[in-house]
Amino acid sequence: MTDRALYLRIADEIADDIRSGRLAEGRPAPSTRRIVRDWGVAMATATKVIGALRAEGLVETIPGSGTIVRRRDERPAGTAPRVTVERSRRARLTQREIVEAAVRIADAEGLPLVTMRRVAVSLGVSTMALYRHVPNRSDLTLRMADHMFAGARVPEIPMAAWRRRLEAVAHLFWTVFGRHPWAAEVFSLSRPQLMPNVLPIAEWSLSTLRAMGFDAHDILCAHINLFGHVRSMALVRLVEAQAEEDTGMSADDWMRLQDGGLRRWASSAGHPGLGYVVRERFDFDLDTVFEYGLQRMLDGIDTRRRALGLPG
């Protein structure tokens, strides 16, 4: 981490590209619009970045051409390459630091704003320094999600207590997704991902279902549906949190605002179900809804067990 202003850290990275020749003389410099997109910052910050580069004599604005990299022989005196702490920071950088920096950005601003450039700026290094430890953004997001489960443990529960065991693993994922809502976006239901910290938790679920006597088809269908319930409800919670931030209203507030229109529509003929639930009070609590769905899925697994004549 560094106390240097964000716009100056971005300017340092672009300046490094210019001095190294990665951004050639006379070629367009990153525009304010591109800086906003690639670094996930406000336009005002991007404008300050260009101003800082211009003050160093590294870029100039040409009417009709935009901002370009200034030729070396045209740069004012005193703008020779300066020695920075970038090299020493890069040498000390670890994969764990990169992952933790990315997690901080995701927790504060959401997964879409986690870019390699943004993480590099937060650490005070160049983007290229990250690629020594992490090959690409997809790999980084997997490592971020896996990192959230480092040290996570399911309590010791006898194998015979299958319902408590499956509840425990579902609650573990629900809790982690509650602390880091973006993590649910990383997981795939159809393409298993190799996450060292997550695999033992998946094994807990699979071995529980195997010990119940289910075959591979029932094991995988039950496992995928249980995890799908947790993940989908976590995504609902993520969307709800974003909606609350955007509107300043909770789900209950929003329902109260819509109440009049809903009641008028529901009271018309042909809507007995909607009319009934609109008249009844419902506390929209996602933890309660999640738990209801989990218990009904476990009821279904139990029904399947009994139908197959498997021991309880």
> Each residue of 267-311: pLDDT tens digit?
666 767 666 666 667 677 899 999 999 999 999 999 999 999 998
At residue 278, the pLDDT reads: 65
CA distance 125 to 49: 16
| Among the listed residues 9, 15, 148, the one whose alpha carbon sits nearest the alpha carbon of residue 89 | 9
The structural domains of the chain, ordered by start, are 6-74 (1.10.10.10), 86-147 (1.10.10.60), 162-248+282-307 (1.10.357.10)
The pTM (predicted TM-score) of the whole model is 0.69
* The CA-based dihedral angle spanning residues 197, 236, 244, 44, taken in that order and rounded to the nearest 10 degrees: 60
Per-residue pLDDT tens over the stretch 59-88: 887 766 678 888 876 655 544 444 344 455
pLDDT for 70: 85
pLDDT digits (tens, 9 = 90+) for 222-270: 999 999 999 999 999 988 887 777 777 776 676 666 666 666 666 666 7
Strongest mean pLDDT among 42-51, 109-118, 139-148: 139-148
pLDDT of residue 84: 47
Query: What is the rounded distance in angstroms from the CA atom of residue 268 to the CA atom of residue 277?
Result: 14
Task: Tell me the backbone φ, ψ of residue 78, rounded to 5 degrees.
Answer: 90, 5
**Cα–Cα distance for residue pair 29/10, rounded to 1 Å:** 13
* Tokens representing residue 62 in the block: 């040409």
